[in-house]
């Protein structure tokens, strides 16, 4: 087993690439009773067109299959629902789907191996029938309609619509009622057999275990399945420019919601780039920034916005989201602040202070088994070892950060998405 140790934070990760192609990762936590397991596949909502290993022709499946599969995996041929089984054991179990991966997980202090039995059983034994697929369409249809009424989700999706012309990242992870109506058991089995192959999966354990012992326990629960080779993922061409600068939707909200987006392009030095962007975002509109303080004093902002840099190997963007009494004024002042920062330069003291704060936040993530395991899984599917963020922080200097400021924070790539009550309702 390969051991990677980060001496700066005194943490280790044990990594083993199994014969079937699956990657196993173990992060020891000897100071906690909590145990956490997350098993993921590099298959998310972005993958709707692909070439199955060993085949020549691409196939395209309806939008929403990855999320649909996640829902159906808990249902077993014996009539049991594995989520209910895990809950009855007293463990906290769940699953989720993102743009680039799907994951199944649980956290517990007791009955770990009984829960591991169930997790590794249901993920490896799908059970789809015409009847249970049709039933699930109704359940997911209700979920889709619920999200359609969720302003925070709409302002986010609309921001992606304003940035992306063709890339599937702009589409709802759940699909639509129309797209899921075309899903059947054959499509589910096709996608399961393609993407739930061990060579496309990784399993992370975090807790107080002996490395070899927990590895052997995982291996003993794997069914005999060979690697099926590389999956060819096909994405449409995406222009560099945004679709539109502004997009607004009217919904019942007590205060307008906003999302400021900046479209970026994928980059090989993604860890270093993302760290510099995080520093810049905190300098521009973080809690200690001049812009945030001014907007707070003017009653335009009441809570610091969420600052995110989202990326995979084929898309990247910044999203700043929150509530504001005047999103347009905030957007204008945000652009002014970026201009001033480019003209006047970055203050070295502010830069060093924020850099230390971000470093401290990374270190804190290792205090929690859930944060640690989920981070290693998500980063793995992006081709990153999570320790790289700690290691790269020292290489982020003022010159590089200035370069990223000029390269990424470009006004023509900025969009504003808002959700507001109608003017009629506002007046009432």
Contacts (Cβ under 8 Å, ≥6 apart) of 2:
14, 15, 16
Q: How far is CA 390 from CA 36, 37, 155, 269, 356, in A?
A: 22, 23, 32, 14, 11
SS3 state of residue 284: helix
Task: Say if CB 209 and CB 33 are below 8 A apart.
Answer: no
Task: Say if CB 311 and CB 274 are below 8 A apart.
Answer: yes
Residue recorded with tokens 């996608």: 191
Nearest Cα neighbor of 104 from 112, 113, 116, 89 is 116
- Start-to-end CA span in the chain (Å): 66
Task: Say if CB 291 and CB 333 are below 8 A apart.
Answer: yes
Residue recorded with tokens 């087993």: 1
Nearest Cα neighbor of 36 from 82, 93, 80, 90 is 93
Nearest Cα neighbor of 164 from 156, 174, 153 is 156
Options 70, 136, 238, 278, the catalytic residue = 70
5 classed as catalytic: no
Per-residue tokens: 270: 């993604």
Nearest Cα neighbor of 45 from 95, 101, 94 is 101
DSSP for 183-252, written as a single string: --HHHHHHHHHHHSSGGGEEEEEEES--HHHHHHHHHHT----------EE------SS-S-SEEEEE--
Strands 102-108 and 92-97: antiparallel
Catalytic residues: 70
């Amino acid at each position: 087993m390969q051991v990677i140790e980060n001496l700066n934070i005194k943490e280790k990760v044990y990594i083993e690439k199994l014969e079937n192609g699956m990657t196993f990762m173990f992060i020891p936590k000897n100071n906690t009773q909590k145990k956490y397991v997350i098993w993921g596949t590099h298959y998310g909502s972005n993958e709707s067109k692909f070439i199955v290993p060993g085949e020549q022709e691409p196939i395209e499946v309806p939008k929403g299959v990855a999320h649909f599969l996640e829902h159906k995996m808990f249902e077993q041929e014996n009539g049991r629902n594995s989520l209910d089984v895990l809950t009855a054991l007293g463990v906290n179990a769940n699953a989720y789907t993102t743009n680039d991966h799907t994951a199944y997980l649980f956290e517990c202090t007791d009955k770990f191996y009984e829960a591991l039995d169930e997790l590794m059983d249901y993920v490896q034994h799908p059970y789809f029938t015409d009847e249970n697929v049709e039933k699930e369409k109704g359940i997911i249809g209700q979920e889709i309609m619920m999200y359609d009424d969720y302003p925070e989700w709409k302002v986010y999706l609309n921001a992606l619509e304003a940035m992306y012309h063709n890339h599937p990242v702009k589409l709802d992870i759940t699909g639509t009622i129309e797209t899921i109506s075309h899903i059947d058991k054959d499509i589910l089995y096709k996608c399961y057999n393609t993407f739930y192959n061990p060579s496309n999966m990784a399993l992370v354990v975090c807790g107080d275990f002996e490395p070899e012992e927990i590895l052997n326990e995982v291996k003993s629960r794997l069914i005999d399945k060979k690697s099926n080779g590389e999956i060819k993922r096909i994405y449409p061409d995406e222009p560099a420019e945004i679709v539109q600068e502004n997009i607004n939707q009217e919904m019942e909200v007590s205060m307008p919601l906003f999302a400021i987006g900046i479209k970026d392009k994928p980059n090989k030095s993604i860890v270093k780039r993302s760290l510099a962007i995080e520093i810049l975002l905190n300098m521009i509109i973080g809690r200690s920034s001049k812009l945030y303080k001014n907007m707070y004093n003017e009653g335009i902002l009441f809570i610091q916005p969420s600052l995110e840099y989202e990326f995979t190997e084929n898309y990247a963007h910044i999203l700043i989201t929150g509530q504001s009494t005047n999103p347009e004024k905030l957007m204008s002042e945000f652009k002014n602040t970026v201009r001033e920062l480019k003209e006047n330069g970055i203050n070295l003291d502010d830069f060093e202070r924020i850099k230390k704060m971000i470093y401290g936040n990374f270190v804190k993530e290792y205090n929690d088994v859930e944060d640690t395991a989920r981070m290693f899984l998500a980063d793995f599917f992006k081709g990153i070892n999570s320790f790289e963020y700690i290691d790269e922080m020292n290489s982020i200097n003022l010159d590089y950060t200035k370069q990223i400021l000029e390269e990424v924070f470009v006004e023509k790539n900025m969009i504003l998405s808002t959700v507001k009550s109608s003017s009629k309702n506002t007046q009432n």
